[in-house]
């Protein structure tokens, strides 16, 4: 990678995500994830050279300067501390900013952390402000996304049941992940199918929950990786792309920024056939139908064919390309942290440390995040072996 320092993930920490963590303050919540990441890496606060924080948009929980508010809890005194802000994709961008600090040899060991306490937020309405002269019509996040799902179904001719399959799969995967928020034991396909239609064509069980949680990663250089007590995950590629929220010609079903971002990650990582070369993917799927949509956008399936991959069972645990073995955003959604959780879960897989939701032999995994009405994308590809070249 042109003289860049190879970057390794040596510590991963998450909170047990839940609907409400009333027992801890925001500093207490982020501390829990950061502490677990340090423990995983067998490092102390003093071993961290810089801290990068990501969170959801300010009015979600009313914290305007998390870099100031949370510095003590993250042991940041005397160190650079940065805040990253890219809406729902922020967790991924946070990991990539931290990665770039190590890759550029600016810092040797960096703590990346993202969080959200939805129980103390106004995520639903913090983005639907009463702007003067505009007609209030918004119907919440689901109302924003549901027309795009309908457009996908029309464009591809997908059977109506695909979203139900995804929701059922991800909720079942979550049963294997002790950190997941939703543990819906005994959930059946019929129950998902008969759950209330909130924003037709999106059913209640096809939507993500509101969660409290935080996630942290310790990223380090080659020397740091050599000291790691557990196998590191190596960053083979990482990229961010953005595009306007609305413009003439925008493709909400398969946004160009997403395609371009994936292409750049694959170029860096030397991936030419993502479906064959990537063993598992953690994709940001807040509404079930986004799984087939992203499978196409990210090049795992040809245009119009993503739903076939889902329907074939290939994306289930044990399938050819398990997608969201952790249970994904459909099972855990502390918005500001959700992207970083995708990146962390991808890293857990290639380290062989994913426990009951481990994809056997996973050597390359994709972590994906998006946000801001398909405005921001961030992705990384991690591997069990150091990048070559």
Partner 1 sequence: MPDVLTAPLVVEFPFTRSLGPVLSAFLTGLRERVVLGIRTRDGRVLVPPAEYDPVTGEDLHALVRTAATGTVTTWAWNPAPRRGQPLATPFAWVLVRLDGADTALLHALDAPGPEAVRTGLRVRVRWAARRTGAITDIACFEPCPPGTDAPAGPAVPHDGVFPDPVTILTTPARLDYTYTPGRALGRHLAALADRRITGERCPSCHKVYVPPRGACPTCAVATGEQVEVGPRGTVTTFCVVNIKARNLTIDVPYVYAHIALDGAGLALHGRIAGIPCDQVRMGLRVEPVWTGDARHPDHYRPTGEPDAAYDTYKELL
Task: Give the range of 190-198, 213-221, 318-326, 372-380 binding partner 1 by CB under 8 A.
Answer: 190-198
Place of tokens 């106004």: 122
Query: Residues with Cβ < 8 Å from 226, sequence gap 6 or more?
Result: none
Pick the closest to residue 63 from 79, 85, 81 (CA basis).
85
Structure tokens at 24: 């801890």
Does residue 267 interact with partner 1 by CB under 8 A? no
Minimum distance from residue 98 beta carbon to partner 1 (Å)? 18
Pick the closest to residue 53 from 112, 13, 110 (CA basis).
112
Instruction: State how far the Cα of 164 lies from the Cα of 248, in Å rounded to an integer.
Output: 32
Minimum distance from residue 173 beta carbon to partner 1 (Å)? 27
Does residue 191 interact with partner 1 by CB under 8 A? no
Does residue 71 interact with partner 1 by CB under 8 A? yes
Identify the residue among 49, 82, 85, 126 touching partner 1 (CB under 8 A).
126
Instruction: State how far the Cα of 241 lies from the Cα of 58, in Å rounded to an integer.
Output: 21
CB closer to partner 1, 77 vs 186: 77
Minimum distance from residue 259 beta carbon to partner 1 (Å)? 16
Identify the residue among 65, 68, 72, 104 touching partner 1 (CB under 8 A).
72
Does residue 123 interact with partner 1 by CB under 8 A? no
Minimum distance from residue 336 beta carbon to partner 1 (Å)? 15
Does residue 59 interact with partner 1 by CB under 8 A? yes
Does residue 250 interact with partner 1 by CB under 8 A? yes
Task: Give the range of 130-138, 181-189, 232-240, 364-372 binding partner 1 by CB under 8 A.
Answer: 130-138
Structure tokens at 28: 């207490």
Contact 93, 376 (CB under 8 A): yes
Sign of the C-alpha dihedral computed for residues 58, 71, 366 and 264 taken in this order: positive
Identify the residue among 49, 120, 161, 264 touching partner 1 (CB under 8 A).
120
Contact 320, 170 (CB under 8 A): no
Minimum distance from residue 234 beta carbon to partner 1 (Å)? 28
Instruction: State how far the Cα of 19 lies from the Cα of 27, in Å rounded to an integer.
Output: 17
Minimum distance from residue 73 beta carbon to partner 1 (Å)? 5
Query: Residues with Cβ < 8 Å from 182, sequence gap 6 or more?
Result: 171, 174, 209, 327, 330, 331, 332
Residues 141-180 touching partner 1, rule: CB under 8 A, are 142-143, 146-151, 154-155
Distances (CA, A) of 66 to 28, 30, 83, 114, 376: 13, 11, 7, 10, 21
Cis-peptide, bond into residue 15, ω within 30° of zero: no
Identify the residue among 16, 19, 39, 62 touching partner 1 (CB under 8 A).
62
Element holding 237 (H helix, E strand): strand 233-242
Instruction: State how far the Cα of 13 lies from the Cα of 215, in Å rounded to an integer.
Output: 6
Does residue 28 interact with partner 1 by CB under 8 A? yes
Residues 330-349 touching partner 1, rule: CB under 8 A, are none
Minimum distance from residue 387 beta carbon to partner 1 (Å)? 32
Identify the residue among 80, 189, 193, 201 touching partner 1 (CB under 8 A).
201
Binding site for partner 1 (CB under 8 A): 21-28, 31, 45, 59, 61-62, 71-77, 117, 119-122, 124-126, 129-140, 142-143, 146-151, 154-155, 196-202, 244, 246-253
């Amino acid at each position: 990678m042109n003289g860049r320092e190879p970057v390794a993930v040596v510590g991963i920490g998450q909170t047990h995500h839940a609907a409400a963590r009333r027992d801890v303050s925001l500093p207490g919540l982020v501390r829990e994830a950061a502490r677990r990441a340090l423990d995983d890496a067998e490092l102390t606060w003093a071993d961290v050279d810089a801290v990068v924080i990501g969170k959801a948009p300010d009015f979600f929980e009313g914290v305007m300067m998390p870099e100031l508010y949370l510095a003590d809890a993250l042991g940041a005194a005397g160190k650079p501390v940065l805040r990253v802000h890219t809406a729902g994709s922020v967790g991924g961008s946070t990991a990539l900013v931290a990665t770039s600090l190590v890759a550029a040899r600016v810092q040797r060991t960096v703590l990346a952390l993202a969080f959200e306490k939805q129980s103390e937020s106004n995520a639903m309405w913090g983005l639907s402000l009463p702007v003067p002269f505009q007609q209030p019509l918004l119907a919440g996040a689901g109302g924003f996304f549901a027309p795009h799902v309908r457009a996908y179904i029309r464009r591809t001719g997908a059977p109506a049941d695909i979203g139900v399959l995804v929701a059922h799969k991800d909720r079942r995967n979550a049963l294997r992940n002790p950190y997941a928020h939703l543990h819906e034991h005994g959930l059946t396909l019929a129950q998902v199918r008969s759950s209330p239609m909130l924003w037709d064509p999106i059913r209640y069980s096809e939507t993500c929950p509101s969660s409290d949680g935080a996630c942290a990663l310790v990223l380090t250089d080659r020397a740091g990786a050599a000291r790691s007590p557990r196998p590191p995950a190596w960053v083979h590629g990482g990229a961010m792309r953005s595009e306007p929220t609305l413009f003439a010609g925008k493709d909400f079903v398969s946004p160009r920024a997403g395609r371009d971002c994936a292409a750049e990650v694959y170029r860096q990582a030397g991936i030419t056939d993502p479906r064959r070369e990537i063993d598992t993917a953690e994709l940001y799927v807040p509404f079930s139908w986004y799984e087939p949509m992203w499978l196409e956008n990210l090049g795992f399936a040809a245009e119009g064919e993503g739903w076939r991959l889902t329907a074939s069972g290939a994306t289930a645990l044990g399938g050819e390309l398990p997608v969201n073995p952790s249970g994904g955003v459909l099972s855990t959604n502390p918005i500001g942290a959700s992207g970083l959780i995708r990146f962390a879960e991808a890293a857990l897989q290639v380290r062989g440390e994913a426990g009951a939701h481990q994809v056997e032999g996973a050597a390359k995994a994709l972590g994906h995040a998006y946000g801001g009405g398909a405005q921001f994308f961030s992705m990384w590809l991690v591997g069990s072996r150091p990048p070559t070249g």
